[in-house]
Structure formats: structure tokens, C-alpha cells
Amino acid sequence: MNKKDILKGVLISIITLVAGYVAMIVPFNLFLSVSKDGQRIFFIIELCIYLVIGSIFLLVQESKEKQAKKEKARHKERARKIKDVQQNWYDVAA
């Protein structure tokens, strides 16, 4: 591991800790100062945000897998073409 990877890992860890702290402290402070209906609305909004973030994550993962599958198929086709050219070259040379 080089310094860049270590710095990147530390930075991600710090950002994750801050985001986790904010995710925990904001709802508790709001629940103390908001009415019951406001709490329900906030809870529903929070669930919707989590659903959207989860959906985006799944879509990104799915597109990466699809791209990898497409690239793998392209590499296989390219290898097959190279093999065909080599076989044809040997046939012509003979």
C-alpha cells in the first residue's frame, strides 16, 4: 500500500464517522423539538432518503456488473478472432 491509499482510507473513515454522528444526532435533536406529526413526517422522509440512496447504490452496482460482463464478452470475442487469424496464417504459410 502506498501513501495515497492510506490517506484515502483515513479520509473515508473520518467522513464516515462524521456522517454517522450527524445521522444519529440530527434525528434525536429533532425528535425533542418536533411534535408527534412532525416526527412521523421526518421518519417517513428519512426512510425515503434511505430507499433512494439504496436504489442508487444497487443501480450503480448493476451497471458495473453489466459493463464488466460486456467487456468480458468483448475480450473473449477478440481472443477468438486472434486465434482464427493465427490458424488462418498457419494455413496460408503452409
Residues 52-65 pLDDT 10s: 999 999 999 999 99
Locate all alpha helices (DSSP H) within the chain, ordered by sequence.
3-33, 36-93
* 94 pLDDT more than 60: no
Global model pTM greater than 0.75: no
> By the 8 A CB rule, do 44 and 59 touch?
no
> By the 8 A CB rule, do 26 and 46 touch?
no
Q: State how far the Cα of 53 lies from the Cα of 61, in Å rounded to an integer.
A: 12
Nearest one of 42, 1, 3, 2 to 23, comparing CA atoms: 42
